[in-house]
Amino acid sequence: MSDKHTITVTVNGHVYTDDCEARMTLADFLRRQCGLTGTHLGCEHGVCGACTVFLDDVAVRSCLTFAVQADGARIKTVEGLAEGDELNTLQKSFQENHGLQCGFCTPGMLMCATELLRENPNPTETEVREGISGVLCRCTGYDGIVRSVMAAADSRRDGVSESGSIS
């Protein structure tokens, strides 16, 4: 059974039109058809959270959404966080606070933390841990990640980085 669809999505401001089978996940469409391999696939069943992207401004697991469902949607991936060549406040904070480690979960952590800080600009450490609880870090080094998110909230509050908008 071959069920082909042609879809158009706007990813990080660029329009992509391509064919996909109905069963192609949004994650695979982003990685293969759009060449945006920043979105990682760990478990492919909605547990690890590495594939988290924004679908019409809401953070979702792109391994549990089919590409065909995203036809006409606006998507933001980890590649869309930086402003040109300049990392945003949250990304810089990950770099400065040892939030990356092996880097596999980083796209999921960044997208979840972006949504968290958008909804709650001054989270407590508990709220940060809760906010990233849907993303698994197999380096088991959550401390650096939590510190990175807290520091990003701090620096945005202090206005240290004028250019570094969170989303």
Where on the chain is the footprint of other proteins (CB under 8 A)?
Answer: 1-3, 5, 21-23, 25, 28, 44-47, 49, 52, 55, 58-61, 63-66, 68-69, 112, 115-116, 130-131, 133-134
CB-wise, 48 or 100, nearer to other proteins? 48
Residue 68 sits at φ, ψ, to 5 deg, of -60, -30
CB of 156 to other proteins, least distance (A): 20
Phi/psi region, residue 53 (left: phi>0; alpha: psi -120 to 50; beta: rest), is beta
**Of 68 and 150, which CB lies nearer to other proteins in the complex structure?**
68
Q: Between residues 5 and 10, which has the closer beta carbon with respect to other proteins? A: 5
| Residue 163: closest CA among 80, 54, 87 | 87
Closer Cβ to other proteins, 60 or 151, answer by number: 60
Minimum separation from the CB atom of position 159 to other proteins (A): 27
Question: Least Å distance between CB 13 and other proteins?
Answer: 22
Q: How far is the CB of 130 from other proteins (least distance, A)?
A: 7
Distance in angstroms between the alpha carbons of the first and the last residue of the chain: 41
Orientation angle between helical segments 142-157 and 89-96, nearest 10 degrees: 130
Q: 13 has which bridge partners?
A: none
CB of 115 to other proteins, least distance (A): 7
Q: Which is nearer to other proteins, 45 or 158 (CB)?
A: 45
Q: How far apart are CA 53 and CA 77, in angstroms?
A: 5
φ, ψ of residue 96 to 5 degrees: the values are -80, -25
